[in-house]
Amino acid sequence: MFLDIATIYCKAGNGGDGAVAWHREKYVATGGPDGGDGGNGGNIYFMADRSMNTLISFRYTQHFKAEDGANGQGRNCTGKAGQDLIIKVPCGTVIRDAESNGIIADIFNDGEKVLIFKGGRGGRGNARFATPTHRSPGYSEGGERTEQRKIKLELKTIADVGLVGFPNVGKSTLLSVISAARPKIANYHFTTLSPNLGMCDYYGDSFVVADIPGLIEGASEGVGLGHSFLRHVERVRLIVHLVDISGSEGRDPVEDYKAIRKELENYSIALTSLPEIVVANKCDLLYGDEDTIERLEAVCGSKVHKISAATTDGVNEIKGVIANTLKDIPPVAPLEFEPFVYEEKDRSSFEVYVEDGVYYVTGGYIEELARRVVLNDGDSFRWFQRVLRDKGVIDALKEKGLKEGDTVCIMDIEFEYVL
Ligand SMILES: Nc1nc2c(ncn2[C@@H]2O[C@H](COP(=O)(O)OP(=O)(O)OP(=O)(O)O)[C@@H](O)[C@H]2O)c(=O)[nH]1
Ligand SMILES: [Mg+2]
């Protein structure tokens, strides 16, 4: 099965908390602080893997989490860093933020590993807070907490050539005779339901051809299978536009040509500027009817190449034309985009509110601070209150009416306010 769009959730590892610990040794009365730092949380990388060609595995697994960093330990032991997570995706997978649709990255080259979500920083242990004037700090720093992100993966096949045309014109048949690919071929519409890739060799030159599912009128608005597969044409260097020149299904090949061009244009104007080779297939069914070819050439403004994918007449020549045309076109490049970057959480702000006589304080900075307090340590608690005062939290609470003896609640820390 093929899937070219998936939504998943990713969370890099949290940083481990710094430790509060004291050096203990026989005959050493005051050993001093020796709490180690927390380990950094694991990162999430995405890696392009040429052997994959669908995002189907993401239908079953949608939550990805890198390991958290371990907390620091006494004796200055730093916590173990969380293990990184590497998520493999097919080459040509574009990662977007699900909410804003902004592009975060384009995972393009085989084996390329891109850091997408960084793990949280480990917190510093109390050993790091010791100063000549404050030699036994009873507090440490909490590890940085990461957020879960919802992202969208979008596969845009990378190929040199995209075979486009109405259903049943012989695209898959052509791919099967110019490459080792063995796509399904049958005499009905929409035989091909997902892009097939084939590697073609032409006297030492090689190129990748993508057989795109048949397009019909209205494809760019989602009729048929169209819209979802036009995405795969976006990344090709050359369009090979196939028409059934015999009109075996009763349609006029020239009208077919115009209809497909219109769909490409409606989808994205960029598609119309791609170089195009027009190929008239099923010439074995054409009995000396040169008029259609001439009409088609007049409309497309270039030479129309006659082939029969069924008898392989003209197939080697068309391979040569493709190989030569590609020589003058720059290689496929990753998307050009302004990378989307997640906004840093505002860690300096806080909010205060009163409910049932209890004063609550919330906000990034305060929550981070609260995680650093060691409750049963008087020194740590005094330090906590000092920071609250310095940062203006106490003033803000007083404005709300805080008096001596009132209860203040910050995360899971509850204390009585004393002057
Ligand atoms: N006579 C003749 N028949 C052909 C030729 N090329 C393909 N066919 C037949 O046309 C039918 C459709 O061929 P496919 O290759 O499956 O067509 P397609 O364009 O891939 O079709 P979709 O996948 O449905 O878009 C099959 O029955 C083929 O055998 C040709 O050159 N001459
Ligand atoms: Mg097909």
Cα–Cα distance, 155 to 106 (Å, whole number):
10
**Average pLDDT of span 302-317:** 93
Q: Identify the weakest region by mean pLDDT among 134-143, 205-214, 260-269, 310-319.
A: 134-143
If you measure from the C-alpha of residue 214 to the centroid of ligand 1, how many angstroms do you get, rounded to a whole number?
A: 11
**Average pLDDT of span 72-98:** 93
Q: What pLDDT is attached to residue 31?
A: 76
User: Is 20 a residue whose pLDDT tops 90?
Assistant: no
| Beta pairing class for 44-49 and 85-90 | parallel
Q: Are residues 40 and 93 in the same domain?
A: yes
CATH code of residue 32 = 2.70.210.12
The ligand placed nearest to the CA atom of residue 191 is: 1
Using the 3D structure, point to which of 158, 181, 214 is the last residue of a domain.
158
Q: Are residues 166 and 250 in the same domain?
A: yes
Name the residue at shortest CA distance from atom 27 of ligand 1.
Answer: 187
Name the residue at shortest CA distance from atom 32 of ligand 1.
Answer: 282
Domain range for 235 is: 162-327
Establish if 334 belongs to a structural domain.
Answer: no
CATH code of residue 180 = 3.40.50.300
**Average pLDDT of span 350-368:** 84
Q: Are residues 93 and 186 in the same domain?
A: no
Contact (CB, 8 A) for 207 and 130: no
Residues 88-144: tens digit of each pLDDT: 999 889 999 999 999 999 998 899 999 999 999 998 888 888 888 777 777 788 888
Establish if 306 belongs to a structural domain.
Answer: yes
Establish if 195 belongs to a structural domain.
Answer: yes
Cα–Cα distance, 79 to 71 (Å, whole number):
5
Q: Provide the number of structural domains found in the chain.
A: 3
pLDDT band at 385 (very low <50, low <70, confident <90, very high): confident
**Mind giving me the DSSP string for 280-347?**
EE-GGG--S-HHHHHHHHHHHSSPEEE-BTTTTBTHHHHHHHHHHHHHTSPPP-PPP-----PPPP--
> Over the chain, what is the mean pLDDT?
87
Mutate to test the pocket of ligand 1, among 185, 187, 243 (most ligand atoms within 8 A of CB): 185
Q: How many residues does the chain have?
A: 419
Residue 312: left (phi > 0), alpha (psi -120 to 50), or beta?
A: left
Q: Are residues 59 and 190 in the same domain?
A: no
* C-beta of 214 in contact with ligand 1 (< 6 A): yes
Q: Are residues 358 and 304 in the same domain?
A: no
**Average pLDDT of span 1-17:** 88
The ligand placed nearest to the CA atom of residue 311 is: 1
Q: Are residues 274 and 411 in the same domain?
A: no
User: Is 405 a residue whose pLDDT tops 80?
Assistant: yes
Instruction: Ligand 1, residue 185: give the atom nearest the CA.
Output: 16
CATH code of residue 400 = 3.30.300.350
Q: Are residues 302 and 364 in the same domain?
A: no
**Predicted TM-score of the model (pTM):** 0.74
Q: Are residues 14 and 153 in the same domain?
A: yes
If you measure from the C-alpha of residue 375 to the centroid of ligand 2, how many angstroms do you get, rounded to a whole number?
A: 68
Contact (CB, 8 A) for 151 and 15: no
Q: Are residues 281 and 180 in the same domain?
A: yes
Q: Are residues 6 and 23 in the same domain?
A: yes
Residue 384: left (phi > 0), alpha (psi -120 to 50), or beta?
A: alpha
Establish if 339 belongs to a structural domain.
Answer: no
Q: What pLDDT is attached to residue 32?
A: 84
* C-beta of 309 in contact with ligand 1 (< 6 A): yes
User: Is 214 a residue whose pLDDT tops 90?
Assistant: no
Residue 146: left (phi > 0), alpha (psi -120 to 50), or beta?
A: beta
Percent of the chain whose pLDDT exceeds 90 = 41
Distances (CA, A) of 148 to 35, 103, 244, 299: 29, 17, 50, 53
Q: Identify the weakest region by mean pLDDT among 82-86, 126-130, 293-297.
A: 126-130
Instruction: Ligand 1, residue 211: give the atom nearest the CA.
Output: 20
pLDDT band at 186 (very low <50, low <70, confident <90, very high): confident
User: Is 227 a residue whose pLDDT tops 70?
Assistant: no
- CA-wise closest residue to 46 among 83, 4, 10, 100: 10
Amino acid symbol at 95:
I
- CA-wise closest residue to 234 among 217, 210, 199, 216: 210
If you measure from the C-alpha of residue 222 to the centroid of ligand 1, how many angstroms do you get, rounded to a whole number?
A: 23
Using the 3D structure, point to which of 267, 292, 327 is the last residue of a domain.
327
pLDDT band at 79 (very low <50, low <70, confident <90, very high): very high
Establish if 338 belongs to a structural domain.
Answer: no
Q: What pLDDT is attached to residue 288?
A: 66
- The backbone torsions φ and ψ at residue 55, rounded to the nearest 5 degrees and listed phi first, read -100, 20
Higher-pLDDT residue of 207, 334? 207
Residues 175-184: tens digit of each pLDDT: 999 988 888 8
Establish if 238 belongs to a structural domain.
Answer: yes
pLDDT band at 338 (very low <50, low <70, confident <90, very high): confident
User: Is 222 a residue whose pLDDT tops 70?
Assistant: no
Cα–Cα distance, 213 to 206 (Å, whole number):
23
* C-beta of 14 in contact with ligand 1 (< 6 A): no
Say if residue 109 is exposed, middle or buried (CB neighbours under 10 Å; 0-12, 13-18, 19+). Answer: middle
Q: Are residues 75 and 130 in the same domain?
A: yes
Using the 3D structure, point to which of 94, 126, 158 is the last residue of a domain.
158
**Average pLDDT of span 159-167:** 92
Establish if 25 belongs to a structural domain.
Answer: yes
Establish if 103 belongs to a structural domain.
Answer: yes
Q: Are residues 150 and 171 in the same domain?
A: no
